[in-house]
Structure 1
Amino acid sequence: MNRLRLIFAASTILASAFGAHAADLHVLNWKGYGADEPWAVEAFEKATGNKVINDFFNSEQEMLTKIRTNPGLYDVVMINAAFNDQATAENLIQPIDTSKIANYGDISAEKAQSPMLVKDGKVYGVPWVWGLTALAINDKSFDTPPTSINVMWDVKHKGRVVIRDDAVEAIQFGAIATGQNINDIKDLDTVKAKLTSLMPQIKTFWSAENDFNQLIASNQIDVGTYWSGSADRAKTQFKLPVSLVIPQEGAVAWLDAWSIPVGAKNVAGAEAFINFMIEPSFYTEWVTKVGAPVSANTKAVAALPEDSFNRKVMGDPEVAKRIQFQAPITDAQREAYLKAWQELKVNVK
């Protein structure tokens, strides 16, 4: 039985368990991020009778705005765990009955019990995948992959460097470049100075995955910040000359989780969908066909070949020592980061 057939089988069992019937299931996620893969949508719909209707966002703030302004529209939403506190505090998402999610028990305990996702003993987010905001390089521009974050500042790459247009991520990237903790930045002025010196290197800022990929495809850039799963997808699915580099100084790590908004009309469908998304057979198919981040499901990672990037490199204890997982930030911090970032961007022609 091949992987996709395993998905059908697992989902059929779920459909029976949930008593699932034909219903719309509104999903909010990043575009091109697993949930909207045609083969996966087809498998889930065929097995459960739910019709998946995907909607997308380009930033966490846009995601929160969509949930706020469309109460009751979405049944399941993908949220970076660092933003789960905010969504919970605003009563945008509801507790999840994990007893109805068969694969939940295979999620690593550290991630399943993350205080960002579990409040007062209630689960508000089911860990899905995790990854890094590190460096992605254009293989055509390097004989040997760089090892330091400072390659971004190398004048040889002036005008061929990109960074994501996201204030929090950019400031945290600057914190790593100045040897600081991304969740406890003591010297914001030093971060701003470091990023100010980077601005002459910048060609442009990217917002969506496709932006970065097009710049690589047209050979306009050498290096830039990028998500690990996106770099894998660029190489696997689009055959682009992209390689991920985890600098010796470290990288920003993030944990993505599935949540159910308050007022969701198809909670049973959402539970079945979440279980489908963390199913090992779906994950291995996703990695093989498209490229993906690291699954929070330990059985899913163990199902990968031993030499696969998401198992060999991302599971390397030495890499684990260098990464810093994003934690929630305050509104005051977010405002300070946004102000600093807007000031920095003015200097890019």
Structure 2
Amino acid sequence: MTWALGTVLATAGLFSGYAHAATQIRVLNWHGYGTDEKFALEMFEKQTGIEVVNDYYSSDQEMRTKLATNPGAYDVVVIGNQTVLAVYQTGLLKKIDPSSIPNMATVQPSMRNSPDLNFNGNLYAVPWVWGINSFAYNTDKVKGNIGSVQAMWDPRFKGRLAMRDDSAFAVNLAALATGQDINNPPDMGKIKAKLLDLKPQVRMFWSSEDEWLKGMAAGNFDIGAIWAGAAARATKRYKLPVKFVIPDEGAIAWLDAMAIPNTSQHPADAAKFINFMLSKEFYVKWDTDIGAAVSANRAAVDALPADAFNRVVMGTPDVQKRLRFVHPVPDARRAQYVELWEQIKTDFAK
């Protein structure tokens, strides 16, 4: 999920004091992640008369900063389940009435009732899409099927691995590879040793989906850590020979939600947009034409073509039982992950 240079519409403070038009809402999200698809904006405006303007962030911290420093600027914000609690605790989120979002009725109960999104008996973020963090490989260069996360450490991929430059992502993968709880790995020494073993493998670090896609297209690497939605876009939108791996050891899963900032000037219109983002008509076109994560709305997934990956693979009992959802990480542990990752990269640079 990322954005090219020049796509960010606003920097911190730009929308301070901005007076919304009555028929316009503003959405804060990653670039190129569903809410800014041209077909979707046109479809929603035709149905409701509401114009949608997107603004973007490049990290969870930037998202939190924009919300805090631009009161009234945003009506909808996309937040990962592991971050919702931290934003809620700052008082930046509005309580959501589920009845204002009819498509919530067919959202998977486990996601609708997630303790990562509900606090004190109230809903503060609507489950939108979920996916898996793993890796994918170039099928033109790598023959045969790969099923294990250990493939990232396979000597045959020496100097041919693209690794995401993200501490939590790296720790999660290493925890999976060492058989530990991804949310609370008890042996960080094993995590560090496993990541250090990646040194001969890594060809490049990447921070944005755009970097990963361009690197794969250029043949700069053969295997790379990535999320399922990006791999889907690689094949559908960019026609790249990419196959995504759901590891035998388990699947690191995440859930992205949509919330309404407490300072939204148009919460009713925001609820209409969230409901549209959960609709069958939006999701089927998004996934079929462009490539998407898996909708939290079971009815939308069931409406996909019979051979759709997000229906016949991601929704199977075999995959479902392997899901290991990430949960909120305490600030102290997050700081530990960041420090560890910086040490790893320093060693790699030697």
Q: Same fold (TM over 0.5)?
A: yes
Q: Measure how far apart 1:22 and its partner are.
A: 4.5
Q: Distance in 1 between matches of 2:302 and 2:49?
A: 30
Residue 286 (structure 2) aligns with: 286
Whole-angstrom CA distance in 2 between matches of 1:42 and 1:108: 28
Q: Which amino acid aligns with 1:280?
A: K
Shift of 1:321: 2.3
Q: Map of 1:200-279 to 2, 5 A cutoff?
A: 200-279=200-279
> How far has the Cα of 1:46 moved from its partner?
2.2
**CA positional deviation for 1:121:** 1.6
The 1-side partners of 2:128 and 2:151 are apart by 32
Which segments of 5 or more consecutive residues in structure 2 lack a partner in the other structure?
Answer: 1-20
The amino acid that maps onto 1:264 is: S
Aligned to 1:118: 118
| 1:73 pairs with 2:83 | no
What is the RMSD of the two structures over their aligned residues, measured on CA atoms? 1.3
Give CA deviations for 1:180-215 in whole Å, capped at 9, x if unaligned: 010121001100110011122111111111111001
1:141 alignment partner, SS class: coil
**Displacement after TM superposition at 1:328 (Å):** 0.6
How far the C-alpha of 1:79 sits from its partner, in A, is 0.5
**3-state secondary structure, aligned to 1:46:** helix
Match of residue 29 from structure 1: 29
- C-alpha deviation, 1:53, in angstroms: 1.2
Distance 1:319 1:102 in 2: 28
Counterpart residue number, 2:12? none
Check conservation: 1:78, 1:259, Cα contact below 8 A: yes
Question: Helix, strand or coil for the counterpart of 1:140?
Answer: coil
Q: Distance in 1 between matches of 2:71 and 2:173?
A: 34
Residue 152 (structure 1) aligns with: 152
Amino acid at match of 2:257: A
* Cα distance in 2 between the residues matched to 1:269 and 1:139: 44
Aligned twin of 2:6: none
2:99 is aligned with 1:107:
no
CA–CA distance in 1 between the matches of 2:51 and 2:169?
34
1:23 CA drift (Å):
2.3
Instruction: Quote how far apart the aligned CAs of 1:143 are.
Output: 1.2
Letter of the 2:34 partner, please give it.
G
* Matched residue SS, 1:310: helix
Question: What is the letter of the counterpart of residue 175 of structure 1?
Answer: A
Q: Give, in whole Å, the separation in 2 of the partners of 1:207 and 1:268.
A: 35
> Which runs of no fewer than 5 residues in structure 1 stay unpaired?
1-20
1:73 deviates by 1.0
Tell me the residue number matched to 2:128: 128
Q: Quick check: 1:31–1:57 contact (8 Å CA) kept in 2?
A: yes
Letter in 1 for 2:149: I
1:71-128 deviations in Å (ceiling 9; x for gaps): 2211100001111111111112111122111111111111101011111121101111
Which has the larger share of helix? 1
CA distance in 1, matches of 2:199, 2:224: 12
Q: Which digits, 9 at most, give the CA deviation of each residue in 1:230-272, with x for residues without a partner?
A: 1111101111111101111222100011000110111122111
- Please tell me whether residue 82 in structure 1 is matched to residue 82 in structure 2: yes
Q: Could you say what secondary structure the match of 1:25 adopts?
A: strand
Distance in 2 of aligned mates of 1:319 and 1:134: 13
Say if 1:117 and 1:123, in contact at 8 Å, map to a contact too: yes
Quick one: distance in 2 between partners of 1:70 and 1:266?
A: 15
Alignment of 1:39-78 (within 5 A): 39-78=39-78
Residues matched between the structures, number = 329
Structure 1 Cα separation of the partners of residues 167 and 65 of structure 2: 17
Corresponding residue SS for 1:347: helix
The DSSP-based 3-state class of the residue aligned with 2:183 is coil
Whether the aligned pair in 2 keeps the contact of 1:22 and 1:51 (CA below 8 Å) is no
Give the TM-score, by structure 1 length: 0.92
Percent identity, please: 46
Q: Does the Cα contact within 8 Å between 1:137 and 1:224 map onto a contact in 2?
A: yes
